[in-house]
Structure 1
Amino acid sequence: MPAPTAIVVHGGAGNTRDNEDGCVLAAGLALAALQRGGDALDAAIAAVVSMEDDGRFNAGTGSVLCLDGQTIEMDASVMDTHGRLGCVACITQVRNPVLVARAVADGPHWLLAGDGATRFAHNSGHAPFCQPTGQARQAHARLVAQLGDKPQFARLWNYERALEDSGARACDTVGAVVRGADGHFAVASSTGGSAPSLLGRVGDTPIIGSGFYAGTGGAVAATGIGEQIVRHLLAYTVYQWIAAGTPLELALQRGVDLFDPAVAVGLIAVGKTGHAAVSNRPMPRAVVCQAA
């Protein structure tokens, strides 16, 4: 018997709920993908592409600028219960990193990074794109002013531009989890990275089991401080609880409770019978369900 479809979308732990309309639009586009005959992964990707194109989220066109004020490094991931898995890390100059991650899933590797990922994207027909939003430029200026003289960044600086030439901490991710009518699960995530960060920094978003996981028991996506999330293998840890029968919302709350309250973190998930979103910070979200 077909299962009811379920779609849960988030716009990043610590992001303003004022941007929730972007999540609602993304969830609606995911449902439309299912109604056109797409599978769970098609739907999850449709949602994330919408948020990458929105400009208000730290992903795709809205990605934060690195400390040098000119570089944008992005990560993305996709996974489903049909065996598809693809990720990109520190990719630059593309509009939709999640589409590149999807293309990686059809190749011989599961993860491409840096210049190799960017070349793969361009060779695969993903058009170059690098146009920081005014919001990203303003956030960068505020960040540099707040940092002042930070010895840790001066000592470890690894950009081509000198530190003195660089002109609210960002760690948001966008993500979607989907349960299709056929009972299969999928997850897709994308981020513009963290600020401040050194060149080449990778968080949890493209790391399987940390920022995302999908298995026969459900799909999970995490958002927050990647350096903390990876230490708990958060997505897979929560997935194991769900697969073992822990009620979905309780499993997500248990995952959030692993962290000090000072650490921003959020989770979304779908299981065989439920769906939930839990965070310790404001987190724009949307849920769409449809009976079989």
Structure 2
Amino acid sequence: MVDPTALLADLTDESDQLDALVDALPTEAWTRPTPAPGWTVAHQIAHLAWTDHVARLAATDPAAFYASVTSAADPGRLVEDGVVEFLAPPAALLDRWRSGRAALTAALTAVPAGEKLPWYGTRMSAPSMVTARIMETWAHGEDVAEALGVTRTPTARLRHVAHLGFRTLGHGFAAHGRPVPTTPVRVALAAPDGSRWAFGPADAADRVVGPALDFCLLVTQRRHRADLALVATGPTVDAWLDVAQAFAGPPGAGRAPHGTGRERVAPEDDRRTVRDEASGTGDAAPRDGLDERIRATA
């Protein structure tokens, strides 16, 4: 069984980490461009505030959520218009984001077990919504950190992002208008603490192995695969790494490669994961209940 309290605590911790990064920024830093074209640091936080708001609507007032979609002047600009709506001077924007996060946590805590919430093109359980919010908060936090020249330390919360990336394999293909493959796929990753995370059957011929951080950067489209130390084996996985996206909606624009080859060299622990997977010794054991919490969101 999923532990909603622990899952929500991970969302709170992920949000607090980003909050600490922007809390004391001078006003001019909020206008720094981020890797997302046309978006500043302020746009990134406004987007998170807006998305938390519509997620709360989905949890508390589905009719209002659907109305926010159907009443949009231009559905294709729903995200951009949401950002514009929530933009504000830094202090007001921070207050809006913080109060919205608290309201969303309260709303998701109150959702009955098993109830499905409406979302863009799908429906999901409250635990799955929390996992999606962790993923998006982390991904946009990466954009902010890059704009500020900060390198964040990866945490165990990346497992939520990685597992969501694995579960959304089919969505990446479907979003690009491609047939969804039925081939079994294995994902084996070196976790930030040196342990291993694995998803999918151990005997799958198609597999991707490498650092968990790199896989998360890929499925959130924060890095091009050419700049990551991921090793793909098999045609299904090779095609997947070109279309992977853990977020809902149409195909993302992704990122252009920074160079002409796989520039990031995996540390020894990550390379050991590749070797162990090749020798069939790469199964990961559950860690502190995190495996069970994530499996229960499926």
What TM-score results when the alignment is normalised by the length of structure 1? 0.27
Q: Hey, which of these two has a bigger chunk of helix by percent?
A: 2
Q: Hey, which of these two has a bigger chunk of strand by percent?
A: 1
What TM-score results when the alignment is normalised by the length of structure 2? 0.27
